[in-house]
């Protein structure tokens, strides 16, 4: 029992350190049909701090985790007006990985309290009122399969791929040793995840109802932060290069765009707008001022 508690606390503390350390910025680009990016705009404008995990609430509204007052809260940016506001202000903890909840005026996010407690919450978009969504799992990353099912990366001795049915209040572990990138596959009810069970990491699909998984493609070596565009193309970042692959027509990865011309590097999280015309990319903050 003591060993189990120690393992869980280790992963909680380790995940906090991983989230808190890097200085990152969120950039918004225009994305064309060839998956080339243009017109970069620094959306976070928060030098020296952690700004990460962007997701689109709609075509003109971006959510992401942003640092202020020595904590990380959910920030919302109106991409048309430039208006910024905050959904959360949790004095005893921080929020990460905000996502739109299907069919509700709310967002879900991981909350890590100062006492080490880590749970998945929902937050009302108007008043920020929080509510625990999954009480019995230490979730690190998640994605909504539908209005009542969540697929998540759960912390433990090995990271686990878990499907949670909120309506029936049950959790089903699918497999171990996965990556942090979980996404809904466009035009289907399936979820993509990255398996790290082998030396070569692979992108797989998951049917959250049956639990069936299918191989899609291996990632470029060491790359794990990806997203899907509405036309079914996978985008994945490595260094300053954005690669693309469409399972329906491509035989392998090809370079889509380089951020070197914008003097940006260290691509991590990426997210594409519902209409496929905008892309948010997180990059490491440049040491050159």
> How many C-beta atoms surround the C-beta of residue 49 within 10 A?
18
In DSSP notation, 181-245 reads --EEPTTSS-EEEEE-SSSS-EEEEE-TTT--EEEEEEPSTT---EEE-TTS-EEEEETTEEEEE
| pLDDT at position 18 | 41
pLDDT confidence of 22, banded at 50, 70, 90? Answer: confident
For residue 104, is it within any domain?
A: yes
- Mean pLDDT computed over every residue of the chain: 93
Beta bridge partners of 47: none
| pLDDT at position 21 | 56
Residue 287 has pLDDT above 70, yes or no: no
For residue 184, is it within any domain?
A: yes
Say how many domains are in the chain. Answer: 1
| pLDDT at position 267 | 98
Cβ atoms 25, 64 nearer than 8 A: no
Q: What pTM value is reported for the model?
A: 0.91
- The CATH number that applies at residue 107 is 2.120.10.30
Cβ atoms 150, 133 nearer than 8 A: yes
By residue range, what is the domain housing residue 273? 2-284
For residue 289, is it within any domain?
A: no
pLDDT in tens, 141-196: 999 999 999 999 999 989 999 999 999 999 999 999 999 999 999 999 999 999 99
For residue 141, is it within any domain?
A: yes
Cβ atoms 244, 253 nearer than 8 A: yes
For residue 146, is it within any domain?
A: yes
For residue 145, is it within any domain?
A: yes
């Amino acid at each position: 029992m003591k060993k189990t508690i120690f393992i869980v606390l280790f992963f909680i503390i380790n995940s906090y350190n991983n989230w808190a350390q890097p200085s990152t910025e969120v950039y918004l680009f225009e994305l064309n049909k060839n998956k080339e990016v243009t017109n970069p705009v620094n959306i976070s404008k928060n030098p020296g701090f952690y700004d990460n995990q962007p997701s689109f609430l709609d075509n003109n509204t971006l959510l992401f985790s942003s640092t202020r007052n020595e904590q990380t809260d959910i920030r919302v940016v109106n991409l048309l007006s430039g208006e910024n506001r905050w959904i959360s202000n949790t004095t005893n903890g921080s929020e990460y990985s905000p996502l739109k909840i299907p069919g509700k005026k709310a967002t879900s996010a991981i909350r890590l309290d100062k006492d080490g407690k880590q749970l998945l919450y929902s937050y009302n978009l108007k008043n920020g009122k929080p509510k625990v969504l999954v009480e019995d799992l230490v979730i690190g990353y998640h994605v909504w399969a539908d209005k009542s099912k969540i697929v998540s990366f759960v912390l433990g001795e090995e990271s686990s791929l878990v499907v949670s049915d909120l309506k029936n209040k049950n959790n089903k572990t699918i497999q171990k040793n996965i990556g942090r990138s979980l996404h809904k596959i466009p035009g289907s009810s399936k979820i993509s995840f990255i398996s790290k069970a082998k030396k070569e990491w692979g992108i797989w699909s998951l049917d959250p109802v049956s639990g069936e998984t299918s191989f899609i493609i291996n990632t470029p070596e060491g790359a794990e932060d990806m997203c899907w565009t509405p036309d079914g193309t996978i985008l994945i970042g490595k260094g300053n290069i954005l690669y693309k692959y469409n399972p329906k027509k491509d035989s392998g990865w090809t370079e889509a765009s380089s951020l070197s011309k914008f003097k940006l590097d260290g691509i991590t999280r990426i997210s594409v707008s519902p209409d496929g015309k905008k892309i948010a990319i997180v990059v490491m903050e440049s040491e050159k001022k």
